[in-house]
């Protein structure tokens, strides 16, 4: 698993360990030294039972030894720059990371472990501003951000290696998915943290952009099950993975603030600068192929997801209170 220290990597590691897999996690050397830190939540990146390896994904010469030794049955490529605004701030680095690493992995697997099945974490951002909806596997690809371009290019490389070399390589075209491990730069977590902090007297207001903005938001725990199912299929294919339901930012506010018994409108101020420039319009997943062929569908409602996140963030507030008192 690459990207094992990210949100999805953590859930996927648990999912695979629960199914009896031996899991190897490839981690940037600088992150490897900090595996036990709690970055965004009450639990650290470290998952008991995973064999973590410091590994430079950009370094071609390391792959042969790794794949020769491990000969993995399955390879999940999740690593990448994943925040769209970051890709505008550093487009060259986003290209180098998101496209070059995918290509390196495909090449290494082709050369040294061609039986390995590969999952690639593609994104609904490849659809850009779709003119038709909901979006499915054949919806035209027209990204509108550097991030979307990198995901589209990697998606094409996956397709190319599948057709040219017969690799079992698949993209999951993932719609937004969230959890208590989401960084606070994402609006779902910004809201859950604000609800918890306001309820415990640590914060007195919340600033957002457009609260009528809509997305297809799901729970990361459900999505990693989708990733796993993609690689259990009899045939290598790409699949859209998403809930098929729209949620507005206003709905997120309702769910989060209801959980703590507060009225969000008393705390919210609107700053149009938080509305994303060149933002995409209301993507919505048509995951009928995944439902039909993989038996996958999202199980967790948006209410359950936001409650889970707020409950986690209330604990985080308690924890910081305790550590301040102890200090
Ligand atoms: P995160 O941002 O939480 O995790 C990203 C992971 O990639 C981290 O482990 C990070 O490592 C690693 N990474 C970033 N840059 C590099 C690099 N240069 N070299 C090696 N590793 C690197 O993302 P998510 O878990 O949310 O998403 C997983 C994948 O799914 C991503 O590729 C994302 O684009 C894609 N995706 C996610 C969606 C979502 O809603 N979550 C939707 C659609 C696609 P480190 O800890 O060292 O920083």
Q: Is 192 a catalytic residue?
A: no
Strand duo 117-123 + 247-248: pairing: unpaired
Q: Is 123 a catalytic residue?
A: yes
Q: Is 267 a catalytic residue?
A: no
Closest to 287 measured CA to CA, from 216, 221, 182, 228: 216
Ligand 1 close to Cβ of residue 109 (< 6 A): no
* 8-38 CB burial, b ≥16 within 10 A, e <16: bbbbbbbbbeeeebebbbbbbeebbeebeee
Ligand 1 close to Cβ of residue 240 (< 6 A): no
User: Which residue puts its alpha carbon closest to atom 3 of ligand 1?
Assistant: 6
Q: pLDDT by residue for the chain (327 residues), tens digit each? A: 999 999 999 999 999 999 999 999 999 999 999 999 988 888 999 999 999 999 999 988 889 999 999 999 999 999 999 999 999 999 999 999 999 999 999 999 999 999 999 999 999 999 999 888 899 999 999 999 999 999 999 999 999 999 999 999 999 999 999 999 999 999 999 999 999 999 999 999 999 999 999 999 999 999 999 999 999 999 999 999 999 999 999 999 999 999 999 999 999 999 877 766 545 568 999 999 999 999 999 999 999 999 999 999 999 999 887 665 555
73 within 8 A of 43, measured Cβ to Cβ: no
Query: Out of 82, 113, 123, 192, which one is annotated catalytic?
Result: 123
Ligand 1 close to Cβ of residue 123 (< 6 A): yes
Q: Give the containing element (helix H, strand E) for 103.
A: helix 101-112
Cβ atoms within 10 Å, residue 322: 10
pTM of the model: 0.96
Structure tokens at 18: 């629960």
Interval between CA 1 and ligand 1 midpoint (Å): 11
- Fill in the DSSP letter of residue 135: B
Ligand 1 close to Cβ of residue 81 (< 6 A): yes
Q: CA angle, corner 144, sides to 100 and 246, nearest 5?
A: 110
Query: Out of 11, 21, 52, 147, which one is annotated catalytic?
Result: 147
User: Which residue puts its alpha carbon closest to atom 5 of ligand 1?
Assistant: 6
What's the rounded Cα separation, in Å, for the pair 55 and 59?
8
Ligand 1 close to Cβ of residue 3 (< 6 A): yes
């Amino acid at each position: 698993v690459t990207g094992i220290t990210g949100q999805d990597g953590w859930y996927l590691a648990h999912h695979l360990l629960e199914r009896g897999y031996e899991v190897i996690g490839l981690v940037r050397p600088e992150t490897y030294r900090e595996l036990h830190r709690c970055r965004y939540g009450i639990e650290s990146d470290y998952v008991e039972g995973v064999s973590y390896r410091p590994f430079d994904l950009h370094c071609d010469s390391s792959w042969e030894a790794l794949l020769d030794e491990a000969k993995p049955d399955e390879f999940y490529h999740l690593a990448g720059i994943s925040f769209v605004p970051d890709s505008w701030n550093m487009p060259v680095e986003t290209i180098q990371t998101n496209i070059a690493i995918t290509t390196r992995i495909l090449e290494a697997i082709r050369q040294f472990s061609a039986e390995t099945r590969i999952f690639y974490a593609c994104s609904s951002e490849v659809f850009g501003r779709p003119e038709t909806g909901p979006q499915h596997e054949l919806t035209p690809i027209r990204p509108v951000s550097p991030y979307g371009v990198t995901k589209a290019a990697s998606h094409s490389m996956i397709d190319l290696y599948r057709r040219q070399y017969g690799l079992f390589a698949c993209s999951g075209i993932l719609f937004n998915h969230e959890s208590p491990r989401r960084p606070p730069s994402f609006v779902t977590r910004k809201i859950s943290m604000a609800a918890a902090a306001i309820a415990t007297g640590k914060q007195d207001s919340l600033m957002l952009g457009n609260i009528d903005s809509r997305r297809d938001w799901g729970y990361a725990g459900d999505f990693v099950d989708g990733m796993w199912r993609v690689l259990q299929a009899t045939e290598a294919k790409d699949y859209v993975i998403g809930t098929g339901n729209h949620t507005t930012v206003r709905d997120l506010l309702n769910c989060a603030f209801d959980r703590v018994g507060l009225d969000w409108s008393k705390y919210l101020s609107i700053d149009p600068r938080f509305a994303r420039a060149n933002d995409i319009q209301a993507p919505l997943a048509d995951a009928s192929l995944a439902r039909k062929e993989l038996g996958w569908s999202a199980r967790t409602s948006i209410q359950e997801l936001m409650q889970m996140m707020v409950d986690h963030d209330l604990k985080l507030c308690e924890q910081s209170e305790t550590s301040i008192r102890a200090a």
